[in-house]
Structure 1
Amino acid sequence: MAERVVAEPDEGRRALAAGYLHGRTLEEALAAWRSDYDAPTYRERRTRLARLGTMIRRLAAEAEARADAVADVSSQRQRARTGGRPAELPGRQS
């Protein structure tokens, strides 16, 4: 049987780090991340995304409420037409 070669766990981490660092030192990468994080555009984007998320949730709730209202009106009309009885299935005679 062929022997299995098991790589050291640190070897994989080093490979991932090398891909992430793109030839920079860890300190340079960390400084770049901090400058991106502290940038006003990041803070503005974060606030805008939060507002957008709130707006999307609000619109979804309004759409759901409208759909529920339409369903309620439809069921009320159906009950009014049938005199409060459930609607007959097509093809069935009472």
Structure 2
Amino acid sequence: MAGYEYRSAPYLILRRDNTLQGFAGCNDISGTYLVRGDVLLFKRMIQTRLACFEGNELESLFLETLDNAELFTIEEETMTILDQNGEVLATFTGT
């Protein structure tokens, strides 16, 4: 079975219209997000379904992080995503 080669690190682009796009490690993702105060929820996430030789474990962790996201902080160009208990799940830096 043909597979897709690992191409880059996961990333997210959050747009002002509350849509997002990104790359999860193997597949492209898109969806919507909701922000209320310091609450951040990712919704209606869809992804391509490519078979990959690399990136599957990373993709699973990345998507699990987005599923568990509940809170966020932003300091300068760094966004930190936290779970409902305030535990850090991921940190993103802007470019």
Q: Which structure's residues are more often strand, by fraction?
A: 2
More helix by share: 1
TMscore range, shorter length: under 0.3
Higher relative contact order (CA 8 A, sep 6+): 2
Structure number with greater Rg is 1
Give the TM-score of the pair, scaled to structure 2. 0.22
